[in-house]
Amino acid sequence: MTRVLTIEREYGSGAAAIAQKVAARLGWKLWDQLLTDEIARRMACDRRHVEQHEERRDPLHYRLFKAFMRGSFEGSLNEPRLGIADAESIRQVAEALVRAAAAEGSAVIVGRGSAYYLRDRSDAIHVFIYAPFEEKVRRLQGEGKSQAEAVELAESVDGDRAAFIKQQFGVEWPARHFFHFMINTTIGEDAAVQTIVNGLAAVEENGKRV
C-alpha cells in the first residue's frame, strides 16, 4: 500500500502547485513549505535563511573552514557553541523530518532529497516533474520575475540541486531510475495532477510498482 509520495522537480516547473493539488485530492499532508518552516523552527533561525541554504552545498571556502575548525583543538571546543545553521546542518534536520513524515504516512513530500532518502521504502512512490527551459522561464516571469532573473534562477537553482544530490548520494540529478513517473508539465497543471493520482491508483490496483 502506498503511504508516501515524493515529488522531485525542476525549478519553475510548477511542481509546488501540483503537489498542493495532489495532496488535497488524496487528503494527505503536504510537506513543502511546512518542511522549511519546521526546519527553521527546530534550528531557531529565520525561514528565509533556510530557503537560501536547503538543497544546496556549503561553499568550498566554508567547508574548508569547517574542516579546519573540526581539526583543531580550539575549533572542536568552539564549533558546537557556534550553532551555525549551515547547509549541512539544515540537510541533517531535513532528512530527519523527511524520514519522520514517511513513517507517519499519508504524506506528499516535495524535494529536499526525499526521493533519495526514501528510495528503499516499498510504500513510497516517487515522481519527477519537469518542463522545457523556455516554459520554466515563462512561468517564473508570470510570477513577477524579469526575464533576466527568470533565466538566472532556472539555471542556477537546478544547478545547485544537482550538485547537492551528487554530493549526498553520488548520482547525477535527477537519476531517472529513482522515479516511478516523470511528468512534463506542458500537458497542463490539472492534467499533471490527474496523471499522478491515476498513477497511484493504478499501482494500488495492480499491487506492484510500475
Q: Is the pLDDT of residue 111 over 80?
A: yes
Residues 122 and 133: their CA atoms lie apart, in Å, by 33
Per-residue confidence band for 208, with pLDDT thresholds at 50, 70 and 90: low
SS3 state of residue 185: helix
Residue 84, in any domain of the structure: yes
Among 2-16, 27-41, 83-97, 108-122, which is the least confidently predicted range? Answer: 83-97
pLDDT for 71 equals 53
- Please state, rounded to an integer, the average pLDDT across all residues of the chain: 89
- We report the CATH number of the domain holding residue 92 as 3.40.50.300
Residue 210, in any domain of the structure: no
> Residue 164's domain spans which residues?
4-204
| Relative orientation angle of helices 147-169 and 133-142, to the nearest 10 degrees | 120
Residue 147, in any domain of the structure: yes
Q: Which residue has the higher pLDDT, 85 or 38?
A: 38
Do 127 and 197 touch, CB atoms closer than 8 A? no
pLDDT for 57 equals 80
Q: What value does the mean pLDDT take over residues 164-192?
A: 96
Residue 20, in any domain of the structure: yes
Q: Which residues are bridge partners to 129 per DSSP? A: 9, 183
Number of domains in the chain: 1
- Which pairs count as long-range contacts for 199-207, CB under 8 Å and 24+ apart, including other chains? 199/125, 199/127, 200/2, 200/5, 200/26, 200/125, 203/2, 203/125, 204/1, 204/2
pLDDT for 156 equals 95
Q: What value does the mean pLDDT take over residues 22-39?
A: 97
Residue 28, in any domain of the structure: yes
Residue 209, in any domain of the structure: no
